């Protein structure tokens, strides 16, 4: 599993020559209500083991949480289950708000 900074993710999303990654937000619903990265799908961390069949194991997948800890654990699980291209958003949505989108609410 690779670590991806918010600035690297922004560059990837802006690069029209690359296929955009699947963004998987694993935070709790109350967190998602405060802020989110547009286009992310939501599966809470606790539900990932029983819902991972909803994800394409061959897609490039960026896992997102608040600071990058829960997403790190989910990314490791997905790799263990055979997902071939998994990234952890280091510093999570907090880092995204601070480095990419200063209008995003933080908590």
Catalytic residues: 65
Query: CA–CA distance from 69 to each of 4, 81, 91 (Å)?
Result: 13, 19, 8
* 26 CB-contact burial (10 Å; exposed 0-12 / middle 13-18 / buried 19+): buried
Other C-beta atoms closer than 10 Å to the C-beta of 64 total 28
């Amino acid at each position: 599993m690779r670590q991806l900074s918010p600035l690297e993710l922004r560059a990837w999303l802006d690069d029209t020559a690359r296929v955009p990654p699947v963004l998987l937000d694993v935070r709790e619903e109350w967190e998602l209500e405060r802020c989110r990265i547009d286009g992310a799908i939501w599966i809470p961390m606790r539900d990932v083991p029983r819902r991972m069949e909803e994800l394409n194991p061959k897609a490039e997948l960026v896992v997102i949480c608040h600071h990058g800890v829960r997403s790190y654990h989910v990314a490791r699980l997905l790799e263990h289950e055979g997902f071939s291209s998994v990234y952890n958003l280091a510093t999570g949505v907090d880092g995204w708000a601070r480095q990419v989108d200063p209008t995003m609410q933080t908590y």
